[in-house]
Amino acid sequence: MTTKLKRKPNGAGGHRVVTVAYDRLWPLEFGIAVEIFGWARPEIIHVPWYDHVVAGPTAPIRTLGGMTMQPELGYEAMETAETVIVPAWRDIHERPPEDLLDALRKAYANGARIISFCTGAFVLAHAGLLSGRRATTHWRDLPVLKESFPDIEIVEDVLYVDEGDVITSAGSSAAVDCSLHVIRLDYGAEIANTIARSLVTPPHREGGQSQYIEAPYQVRPGQSVSATLEWARERLDQPVSITELADHAGMSERTFLRRFREGTGVTPLKWLRRERIFRAMSLLEKTDLSLNDVSVQSGFGSVETFRTAFRDIAGTSPHAYRKRFEMRAAG
């Protein structure tokens, strides 16, 4: 995956995020963007947080639920954006205003990363930013997106699709997952996990996870898959078998595998591999341990296996990931 982004390191000053507003706005996804990127996080004090503004029509706009609001800046604010967020669009059958589409095209041409939440993907599609790309939206609206824009490679039943300089996400809760993914890209795993704890949400659901999961973690009183997840996280540097996981959960292996998949959307082995990479990310960010030591402490049998898994999940090499954070610290 390639990207044309030229974003400055966060240590060099707040990364400018512009969230788009429009008349008849859906407030939930808009609120997610403002909450996550627009609030000066008291728990993040050693790096500057995002510089967030709202851009929209110059006249007051209405929102679902009967509220009115006045955006602080017009759409021209996108010209200086490093990231633009487009919340859910009001009507998937309506073409967005041309001034909004033009502003998005200019922002993209200037090197901004463009992100859509839910049906915001339709706005990006009308702007021509998804042509020839992989993209997703809410599962209910995927057929309309596919029929209306046949040049888009529709990815079904995923939380978000990261194409580098364009990211599309699914329904409302997936906007949180997408936002944490973006924070992880910009600030690293440790800060992303800190924000997740503040939001009281799981630290990471990977983009390829199903949009809809049948069962929550809690199966019934006394049998909690979530407790077993925490138990496994404390032992990531050790071999952990499915038998041990099932025993801890107090279930048969067959029942445990079914409940685990229902609750997380992935298999135990895939979940363990991903969690070990998150441990490795944290070690690379905070320590000077050799790659061999990081590999061992993250539970991988060899550096070669570790490198392969890291690249699969993080999209880069362990060395490049560490260098990125060394450059930020130096700045």
Residue 215: pLDDT over 70: no
Check pLDDT > 60 for residue 323. Answer: yes
Q: Check whether 89 has a pLDDT greater than 90.
A: yes
Beta carbons of 73 and 19 less than 8 angstroms apart: no
The pLDDT score that the predictor gives to residue 12 is 41
Based on its alpha-carbon atoms, the radius of gyration of the chain, rounded to whole angstroms, reads 21
Give CATH 3.40.50.880 domain extents, the chain.
Answer: 10-199
- Report pLDDT for 28: 93
Q: Which fold has domain 10-199?
A: Rossmann fold (3.40.50)
pLDDT digits (tens, 9 = 90+) for 146-161: 999 999 999 887 889 9
Please give the average per-residue pLDDT across 55-70, as a whole number: 91
**Of 129-143, 191-205, 284-298, where does mean pLDDT reach its minimum?**
191-205
Report whether pLDDT(39) > 60: yes
What pLDDT, on the 0 to 100 scale, is given for residue 65? 86
In the predicted structure, residue 205 carries a pLDDT above the cut 70? no
Q: What is the DSSP string of 138-177?
A: -GGGHHHHHHH-TTSEE--S-SEEE-SSEEEE-SHHHHHH
Q: How far apart are the first and last CA of the chain?
A: 27
pLDDT tens sequence across 235-272: 999 999 999 999 999 999 999 998 888 777 788 999 99
Q: What is the mean pLDDT of residues 179-183?
A: 92
| DSSP string for residues in 20-84 | E--TTB-HHHHHHHHHHHHS--TT--SS---EEEEE--SS-EEBTTS-EE--SB-GGGGGG-SEE
Average pLDDT across the chain, whole number: 85
Would the CA dihedral through 102, 158, 277, 196 be positive or negative? positive
Domain ranges in the chain with CATH number 1.10.10.60: 270-330
Distance CA 283, CA 249 (A): 28
Strand, coil or helix: what is 245? Answer: helix
Out of 1.10.10.60, 1.10.3720.10, 1.10.760.10, 3.90.1150.10, which CATH number does the structure's domain 270-330 have? 1.10.10.60
The CATH T-level fold of domain 218-265 is: Arc Repressor Mutant, subunit A (1.10.10)
Q: Which two tokens stand for residue 263?
A: 């609750």
List own/partner pairs for 263-268 with CB under 8 A and 24 or more apart.
Answer: 263/213, 263/215, 263/216, 263/217, 263/219, 263/225, 263/226, 264/209, 264/213, 264/217, 264/225, 264/229, 265/205, 265/209, 265/210, 265/213, 266/206, 266/209, 268/242
The pLDDT of residue 198? 81
Distance (Å, whole) CA 328 – CA 217: 37
Residue predicted with more confidence, 62 or 2 = 62
Half-sphere exposure of 316 (CA within 13 A, CB side): 15
Q: What contacts 175, CB < 8 A, 6 or more positions away?
A: 29, 32, 33, 87, 117, 118, 169
pLDDT at 199 (0 to 100): 81
pLDDT score for 285: 86
Instruction: Output the pTM of the full model.
Output: 0.70
